[in-house]
Chain A
Amino acid sequence: MARRDYLLGKFGIALLTLLFVLLLDFILFRVLPGDPIRAVIGRNVRISAEVQESLRAQFGLDKPVFPDQFVDTLGQWAQGNLGVSWSQRKPVSEILISKLWNTLLLIGLGQLLSIVLGAILGLLAGWKRKTPFDVGALTFSLIAWATPTFWLGIILLVAGSTWFGLPTGGIVSPENVGKPLHTVIPDVARHLILPTLTFTILYLGEYMLIMRSSILEVLSEDYILTARAKGMSHFQVLTKHGLRNAMLPMVTIIALNLGFTVSGAIYIETVFSYDGLGNLVQTALVKQDYPLLQGAFLLLAVSVIIANMLADFLYTYLDPRVKAN
Chain B
Amino acid sequence: MGQIKRIHDMLISGEISCVELTKKYLEAIKNSNKELNAYITVTPEVALAQAEAVDKKIANGEEIGLLEGIPMTLKDNISTKGIETTCASKILTGYKPIYDATVYELLQKEGVVMLGKANMDEFAMGSSCETSYYGGAKNPHSLDHVAGGSSGGVASAVGGNLAVYGLGSDTGGSIRQPASFCGIVGLKPTYGAVSRYGLIAYASSFDQIGPITQDVEDAAIVFDAIAKYDERDSTSQGSKPAAPTLNDDIKGRKIGIANQYLDGVREDVKQAVLDAAKAYEDMGAEIVYFDLPELKFALPCYYILAMAEASSNLGRYDGIRYGYKAEHYNGTHDMICRTRSEGFGKEVQRRILMGTYVLSAGYYDAYYKKAVNLRGAIVEAFDRAFELCDAILAPTAPVTAFKNGYLFGEETDQIEQYLSDICTVPVNTAGLPAVSVPCGVDGEGLPIGMQLIGKKFDEKTILNLAYKYEQAEDKRIETKWGVKL
A binds B: no
Q: Report B's interface with A, CB cutoff 8 A.
A: none
